Structure 1
Amino acid sequence: MTVRRTLFGAAALLALAPMAFAAGERGRDGEVRIIYWQAPSILNPFLSGGTKDVEAASMIIEPLARYDENGNLVPWLVEEIPTVANGGVSADLRQITWKIKPGIVWSDGTPFTSADVKFTWEYCSHPEGGCAQLTKFEGVTSVETPDDLTVIVNFDKPMPNPYGPFVGGESPIIQKAQFENCVGARAPECTDANFAPIGTGPFKVVEFRPNDVIRMVANENYREEGKPAFATVLFKGGGDATAAGRAVMETGEFDYAWNLQLAPDVIAEMEKGGKGKPIAGFGPLVERIMLNNTNPDPSLPPELRSVSIIENYEQKNPHPFLRDPAVYKAMSMAIDRPLLVEIGYGQAGKVTCNWVPAPEIYNSHTFDATCGVQDIAGANKLLDDAGIVDTDGDGIREKNGVPLKILYQTSTNAVRQDFQALIKQWWSEIGIETELRNINASVFFGGDPGSPDTFQKFYADVQMYANTFNGTDPQAYLANGLCDKAPRPETQWQGENISRFCMKEYDELWKKLSETADIEERAAIARQLNDMAVENGMMIPLVHRGRLSAHSNTLGGVKLNVWDSELWNVADWYRIK
C-alpha cells in the first residue's frame, strides 16, 4: 500500500506555483529537481541507517556542526567549534559545551533551544527506540541545558573525540515539541513526524510519498537572508542509476543525480549529452560483503533468526559455517578485486581489503600483498586442509554435514548484479553454491521493522552494499562492530552491527581507542580494529569507491562532500543564468 502524506495543505501548495522574485531574494530561482534512484522511505535518520534517508533529511533537519567538503569541522547551528584551547572542551576531555547561535527558529517559527538538543539525545538513547545512530552517543551520561543557548554534553570517561553527538548529517537535532510523544517503542508509529520533521534547514516538506517523491518549499524562517535560492524542490526517488544519470546529463530533466553506480564507459557516454557533468571524490566509502555471524535459517522463529545471542562473548546462535576462518578466507581469496574495479568503477574505484581505507592515516596495509590477487587454488587448498570437502560428489563442500550453500543478497543495481554473477561463479569454483537475490534499494535500505527485506534484518547468509561515515575520525564508525550494537527485535531491528559480529578483544580495543588522544596512537588502534574485523569474519571488503554524482550545467554552488551529506550546502545552490 502506498502511504502518502500532504503536510501543509493549500497554503503551502500555493507556494509551488511560479512567482516573481527579486535578485538575491529567497526563492528567486524557482525549482531545483533532485533524483536519488534509491528512494527515501523516511525522513528521520534516527530510524534508518540508509544513506538516502539521511541525505534527504539533511535538507530539513540539521546538526550543531558538520564537516565541509575538505573534511574540516565547521559550526552550523552554533557560534564556534568547542576545543580545549577555547574552553569549550574540558581539560579532562569529559565535557563539551556548545553555544547555539541566537535567533535560530524552527520552520514553524518557534525558537530552537538547548531543550531540543537534549531531547534528541533522550530520543536516540531510549532503550526501546531502536535508534539507528546510537553509536554517535556512545559514552554520553547526560546533557545539561543551563540556558536556552547552552548545551553541555557529559561523557563517562575522557573523550578525545567529543564530536560524535549532534555532529554531521547522521546526528541532527529533532524538535522536542514534535517528537516528545514519539519516544521509545512508539518511535516508528509517529508517521507524520517521521515523514515531515520540522527543521531548521533551508527547506520544509509539503508532500512525502515514501519510496517515490518528496516535495519541499523554501523555509521562510531560514536563518540566512536570501537563502535558499530555490523556492521549491522536487526530490524524485526510484528507478535506477542509469536513468538518474541520463536525466541529468542527457535530457536535463533533473539538476542533481546521486550515487551513479555505473560503469565508467556508461558515465562517459552520458556526459556527451551535454546537459550536465559528473563529479567525484574519494572518502571512506567501501563496497563490501557482510557475513552473517548468526543463523538466518528461515525455519527458525523470529526471536532466533539472524538474532545475536551472546553469553560471555560466545555466540549461542552461530552461523553453521560462516564462522569458520577457512570458509570466509577462502571466499575472499577466490574474488578477483581488480576485475571488479575495472568493470564496476574504473578510476572511481580502488582495490581494498580494508573496512576503513580513508583518511590515509587510518588505512591499514596488512592485506596489501594478497588483496589484489585472486587465488582459486589457494582457496581450495585452504578448505581441503580444514576438512571442508565434498563428500557426496555434488560439487558442494560440507562442514559438519551442512552443505556450503549461500543466499547472497544485495540491492537492485546493474553493477551489483554484475558483481553477484562473477562472485557466484568464483565461489562455485571452490565448492560453494550461491543463490542470488536482489531487493529494491528503497526497501533494502529502508529500515522498516516490519519488512523481512531490510539489510538490518539480514535474512540471508551474506549481503553486499556500501556505506561510509561522516567526518574524518572513524571512532563512532568502528563502534559498529561492538557486540551490543547488533539489530534485534527489541530494538525495532535497528542497530549498526549488521554482521552480528562479537569479539571481546575488539570491544576492549575500541574502548582503548575511545580513551586515546594522540592522533598517531588513535590511528594505530583504528588500523588494528580494521584488521581484527576483517580477519575475524565481519565482512569481506571489495572496492574502495569514489562517490560519483552528477549535476546540470545550470546548477551552481555544488560542492561534493564525501565527509558528510552530499546535500550539506543545498542552501547555497543557485541557478546559473
Structure 2
Amino acid sequence: MHEDQLRAALRAVAAGALPRRRFIAQLIAAGVPLPLAAALLAQAGPARAQSPFVYKPTRRGGGGVLRILMWQGPTHLNQHFGSGAKDTFGARMFCEPLARYDREGNLEALLAAEVPTLANGGVARDGLSVTWKLKRGVTWHDGEPFTADDVVTTWEFTRHPDTGAFTFGTYAPVKLVRKLDTHTVRLEFDKPTPAWAEAFVLSVVLPHKHFAPYIGAKSRDAPANFKPVGTGPYRFVEFRPGDMLRGELNPAYHLPNRPHFDAFEIKGGGDAVSAARAVMQSGDYDVGWNLQVEDDVLTRIERGGRGRMDFAPGGDIEYLLLNHADPWKEVDGERSHPSTRHPFLLDPAVREALAHLVDRDAIQRVIYGRAGVPTSNFLNNPAAFNSRRAGPGFDLAKANALLDAGGWVRGGDGVRAKGGQRLKMLFQTSASAPRQKTQAIIKHSAQAAGIEMELKAVTPAVFFGGDIANPDTNTKFYADLQMFTVTRAGPDPGRFMELFCSWLVASKANKWNGRNITRWRNDDYDRTFRAAEGEVDPVKRAALLIRLNDIVCNDHAIVPIVVRPKPTALANSLQASIGGWGSEAASVHDWYRG
C-alpha cells in the first residue's frame, strides 16, 4: 500500500467510512505484519461511538425554511416510478412507508403502530405471513384517514404488470394483502419469506383515494404522481421537475412536535462542488445532497467553517455495467432489446480483461477518499453478507494476455479486433467530476490493452430520469458500458440482489422499469435467488446471498469499483441523523435547527 493510499485509508477509518476490520484486512493482504497494522490503525484514533440522536424541539414549527440543494433535482414524485435516489428523496418529503431503517439499520415504526416481530406475534414462525398493526389517528394531507385500504391499494397498484412500477419486484412476493380490520393487514406469501420487511418499508404507501382508479395501464396518468398526497411531515406546494420542489408544514402530522421547519425548498441543478460550497462556505443552504466530489476538494471546502460532511455507512456501490444486449441493433423500435446479444461483451475473455483494467485503488486514492472503499464485490455489508472472494485486481499484463489468448489481435492503430469486430466501446455515465475522472482512468488502462473507448457524460436529470421517451436514461442502456451508484434500500440484501434476475430484464415491454439493466441472464443465479427467497435459516440464507454475489462477479457481468457511504453536507446549525440505508430523507421528520 502506497503512502498516499495509506493516508486516504486512515482518513476513511477516522471518518467512519472504512470499517476498522476491513482496513486491517487490507494491510495484511498487502503484506503488512499484524503488529504494524495495529499500530497504523491507532493513528486513525479510537473507534468513534455514535451518539444517539435526540430530537429536542418541544413544539411543531418555528424553524423557518429548510433549504436543500440537490445537484440532481427530483423529476418524479411517485417513488414507485422514480428510478433514482433523487426521486426517492423528493417523494419522502411527503409520503411515508410503514417503517424505516435508522442509521444503524434497525427498523423503526412510522405508519405502523409497531414493528412486527416473532415475540409480538406479527411475524409468523413458518415465514408465510406478517401482520402489520397500523397507527391510528393518521390522516392524509387531504384530511382522509389512513387505513388498511391504503396498504391494500399500494400492493395492488405496484404489483399489477401494466402499472410498470419500478418497485414491482419488492411487492411481487406478497401473494395477498388481507385486510383484517380498518387498521390491521396481513401479508401472505406463497413460501417462507425472510425478507418480509422489504414490502412497505423500502417504498412509500399510496393513498387509496388517489391511486385506486389508476391501477394498471392508467398508472402514469395519476395526478398524485406529480402532486403527492401523503401522510408525511410536509404538504405539497409546488414542483418544477429537475428545478424546484416546495412543501409546507403539515399541521396534522402524526408525530408530536414535528416537523421543526415551517417549510422546505429543494433547489435542483448546478453541480456537486457548488452544492458543497453553498452549505459549507457561504451558508446559503442547510443540506447538500449526494456530494459526488473528490475528497480533497470536500476537505478544503469544509474549512469554510459553515458546515461539515457526513458519511453515512451503508451498502451503496459504484460499479461498471456491461451490456449483454446489442445497443446498436434495433428490434421493434427498441435498442438493447433483450432478444439480442452483444457483439463482443459476451466473450468471457473481454469481460475478464475489463475487470482487470479497473484500478480501484487509484480511483479511491485520487477521487473518493473518505467517500469510497475499494471492493471487487457487489454485495457489501452488513458483515454477515461479505464474501471472501478476492476478485481480480488491476493487472494490465493479465488483461492483455486474456485478449491475446481470446484471439483479439491489435490492428495498425493499436485497437484489437476479431472476425471484423473491433473492440470499440461507448462508455456512458452521468455528468459529475468524479465520474468523468473515473472514466478517464479506465479509458487510459483500456487503451493500453488495445480497447478504444468513447466517453459520454449525460446530464444527471436525464440519465437517472424516468422519461421513457429519452434515449439517454440508464435503464435504456444504449451504450456498451455504463457506470453509476446503485443504492441499497435496507441492510437486508435480498431484494438488492434481484438486480440480476432474468425475469426483471429492462425493456420497452415494462417501460424500462425492469431492474436488470445489464440484460444478463444466468440460470444458476436465478435458481440461487429463488432458494434464498425462501430460506428462513439466517446462516444458510447469508451463504446463498454471498453465492449470488460470487456468481455475478465471477462472470464479470459487472465490475464493482467502490462502496460509497452517503456523502451529505450539513450546515453546522442543522441536527440530522442521515441514514446509509435507503433515502437520506427517511428521517426528515426529525431534522431540526439547534
Identify if the C-alpha distance between structure 1 residues 511 and 569 changes in structure 2 by more than 3 Å, giving closer, same or farther. Answer: same
Give the distance between the partners of 2:355 and 2:70, measured in 1 at CA: 31
Give the match's secondary structure for 2:425: strand
Give the distance between the partners of 1:572 and 1:167, measured in 2 at CA: 18
Give the match's secondary structure for 2:570: strand
Give the aligned partner of residue 365 of structure 1.
388
Give the distance between the partners of 1:260 and 1:562, measured in 2 at CA: 14
* Mapping of residues 144-543 of structure 1, within 5 Å: 144-168=178-202, 171-190=203-222, 192-297=223-328, 299-309=329-339, 317-367=340-390, 370-371=392-393, 374-390=394-410, 392-543=411-562
Of 72, 81, 91, the residue aligned with 1:38 is 72
Give the match's secondary structure for 1:184: coil
Give the distance between the partners of 1:491 and 1:129, measured in 2 at CA: 9
Contact 1:174 1:197 in 2 (8 A): no
Give the match's secondary structure for 2:90: helix
AA of the residue aligned to 1:351: P
Identify if the C-alpha distance between structure 1 residues 246 and 173 changes in structure 2 by more than 3 Å, giving closer, same or farther. Answer: same
Give the distance between the partners of 2:216 and 2:421, measured in 1 at CA: 40
Give the distance between the partners of 1:238 and 1:119, measured in 2 at CA: 34
AA of the residue aligned to 1:320: P
TM-score by length of 2: 0.88
Deviations 1:475-518 (A, max 9, x none): 01111111011111121111111111111110100011111122
Give the distance between the partners of 1:412 and 1:570, measured in 2 at CA: 27
Q: Does 1:87 align with 2:87?
A: no
Contact 1:49 1:133 in 2 (8 A): no
Contact 1:128 1:490 in 2 (8 A): no
AA of the residue aligned to 2:398: G
Contact 2:387 2:549 in 1 (8 A): yes
AA of the residue aligned to 1:140: V
Deviations 1:202-256 (A, max 9, x none): 0111000000000100112211232111111011111110010000000000001
Deviations 1:387-434 (A, max 9, x none): 1223x4232212332111111000000010011111111111111111
AA of the residue aligned to 1:355: F
Give the distance between the partners of 2:173 and 2:507, measured in 1 at CA: 21
Give the distance between the partners of 1:484 and 1:359, measured in 2 at CA: 27
Give the aligned partner of residue 585 of structure 2.
567
Deviations 1:40-65 (A, max 9, x none): 10011111220111112111111111
Structure 1 residue 118, shift from structure 2 partner: 0.8
Give the distance between the partners of 1:270 and 1:425, measured in 2 at CA: 29
Contact 1:68 1:564 in 2 (8 A): no
Give the aligned partner of residue 115 of structure 1.
149
Deviates more, 1:85-94 or 1:43-52: 85-94
Give the distance between the partners of 1:305 and 1:36, measured in 2 at CA: 31
Give the distance between the partners of 2:503 and 2:90, measured in 1 at CA: 28
TM-score by length of 1: 0.91
Any unmatched runs of 5+ in structure 2? 1-56
Any unmatched runs of 5+ in structure 1? 1-22, 310-316
Q: Does 1:66 align with 2:104?
A: no
Structure 1 residue 91, shift from structure 2 partner: 2.4
Structure 1 residue 303, shift from structure 2 partner: 4.5
Deviates more, 1:374-383 or 1:299-308: 299-308
Contact 2:351 2:557 in 1 (8 A): no
Paired residue total: 538
Contact 1:129 1:492 in 2 (8 A): no
Give the distance between the partners of 2:488 and 2:312, measured in 1 at CA: 14
Contact 1:129 1:185 in 2 (8 A): yes
Give the aligned partner of residue 4 of structure 1.
none
**% same residue:** 41
Give the match's secondary structure for 1:33: strand
Identify if the C-alpha distance between structure 1 residues 262 and 435 changes in structure 2 by more than 3 Å, giving closer, same or farther. Answer: same
Give the distance between the partners of 2:137 and 2:67, measured in 1 at CA: 30
Q: RMSD over aligned Cα, in angstroms?
A: 1.4
Give the distance between the partners of 1:166 and 1:538, measured in 2 at CA: 30
Structure 1 residue 450, shift from structure 2 partner: 1.2
Deviates more, 1:88-97 or 1:243-252: 88-97
Give the distance between the partners of 1:93 and 1:63, measured in 2 at CA: 21
Contact 1:135 1:477 in 2 (8 A): no
Contact 2:357 2:395 in 1 (8 A): yes
* Mapping of residues 10-25 of structure 1, within 5 Å: 24-25=58-59
Contact 2:313 2:579 in 1 (8 A): no
AA of the residue aligned to 2:94: I
Contact 2:159 2:172 in 1 (8 A): no
AA of the residue aligned to 2:414: G
Give the match's secondary structure for 1:201: coil
Contact 2:148 2:183 in 1 (8 A): yes
Deviates more, 1:342-351 or 1:434-443: 342-351
